[in-house]
Amino acid sequence: MSLPPPAGVIKLDQNEVPIPPPQHVVEAAAQALAVANWYQPAALYDEVRALYAEYAGVAPAHVWLFPGADDFFEYILHRARKVAVVSPTYFLFEDQARFHGVELLQTPLRGEEFKLDLAEFLSAAKRADAVYIDNPNNPTGQLLLRPKEVEEVLALGKPTVVDEAYFEFSGVTVAQLAEAWPNLAVVRTMSKAFLLAGMRVSPVIVGAGYRLHYNTVRFRVSLSSLAAARAALYNRGYVGEVVKIVKEGAAYLREELARLGIKAWPTYANFILVKGPPGLAAVLREYGVWVRDEEQRLGPGHVRITVGTPEINAQLVRTLKTVL
């Protein structure tokens, strides 16, 4: 069993918003567990599908729910031998692809601003069996493609996964393109702005080309997770508040980091990529602040930090002032 972080630790390494879910969501999950019979929740699955479809502005038939985005990645990876990705990209997708022996055709993000050269990406995508792009990109926080550019990728006809885990913060989506493009799959999550990370509810909006077998998919997400997702979607006013807190927090952190002489990139997500002195992540960890070390992939001093609440952000800045 993985344990929660020890008391006093500030956990900013996995891009979970460090705010507890609202009471109505917690109660819905608890009530689901209190029923006399823990039935298999196929009907509830369909209800949440329909609610998410309404939220995403697509027809319910396009929406499937998975217990984690990686569960959907399996579906792509066991059918592909070569997948076109950007580099760096979501480490879990890369890791899972390697585990499956899938070759990654990597297009590096270039320059100080981590730009994607679309022509270069298209040429790799042509040689691949499938395409994966996280938009915004993890770990850089940059938005790599606009919807028109995604259509150029889709026109190649390959199964194409656009990972929009951070959609609520970026405000940019291609979900509606799933009606027209059978090869598009848009990965979303309820782990970020909806505050349900541990519940593992990851909706995917797919075009007609993805023949997911209803009878195998509809039993994947647990009763309590579906109950939490249902309550969250029914009464989702809090999501906008979370996004506001995160955006203000990101602006505050970037300003404070600049003052401390630490480079902080702009972000379309709930995390910030920063470049400080070499070994920064390790030093912060000694002070009880967990951030994601990106030195191996991006070079000395690179760290990805999840944006927290105002109190947590201030504490992070105080710790940085101590260690620098």
Q: How far is the CB of 17 from ligand PMP (least distance, A)?
A: 11
Phi/psi of residue 236, nearest 5 degrees: -105, 20
* CB-nearer residue toward ligand PMP: 134 or 256: 134
State the minimum distance, in angstroms, from the CB of residue 322 to ligand PMP: 28
Query: What end-to-end distance do the CA atoms of the chain give, in Å?
Result: 35
Considering the complex, what minimum distance in angstroms separates the CB of residue 187 from ligand PMP? 6
Q: Report whether 249 contacts 309 (CB < 8 A).
A: yes
CB of 69 to ligand PMP, least distance (A): 4
CB contact at 8 A, 165 and 200: no
Cβ distance to ligand PMP smaller for residue 91 or 238: 91
Between 102 and 320, name the residue whose CB sits nearer to ligand PMP: 102
Q: Which one, 210 or 320, has the nearer CB to ligand PMP?
A: 210
Q: Which helix (H) or strand (E) holds 242?
A: helix 237-259
CB of 138 to ligand PMP, least distance (A): 4
Long-range contacts of the stretch 29-35 (C-beta < 8 A, 24+):
29/199, 29/224, 29/225, 29/227, 29/228, 29/231, 31/227, 32/223, 32/224, 32/226, 32/227, 32/228, 33/223, 33/224
Q: Which is nearer to ligand PMP, 163 or 168 (CB)?
A: 163
The β-bridge partners of 205 are 63, 186
Strands 263-264 and 271-275: antiparallel
Q: Which is nearer to ligand PMP, 196 or 227 (CB)?
A: 196
Comparison of 71 and 287: residue with beta carbon closer to ligand PMP = 71
User: What angle in degrees, to the nearest 10, is found between the helix axes of 42-56 and 223-234?
Assistant: 30
Minimal distance, residue 203 CB to ligand PMP, in Å: 9
d(CA 164, CA 279): 30
Q: Which helix (H) or strand (E) holds 134?
A: strand 130-134
* Residue whose pair of structure tokens reads 């000395």 in the numeric block: 300
To ligand PMP, the closest distance from the beta carbon of 139 in angstroms equals 8
Q: Which CB, 70 or 179, lies closer to ligand PMP?
A: 70
**Angle, nearest 10°, between helix axes 91-99 and 69-77?**
40
We find the least distance from the C-beta atom of residue 35 to ligand PMP, in angstroms, to be 26
CA distance 321 to 7: 22
Contact 131, 154 (CB under 8 A): no
74 or 255, CB closer to ligand PMP? Answer: 74
99 near 136, Cβ under 8 Å?
A: no
Residue numbers at the binding site for ligand PMP (CB under 6 A): 15, 68-70, 90, 134, 138, 163, 165, 189, 191, 197, 202
Closest CB 72 distance from ligand PMP, rounded Å: 9
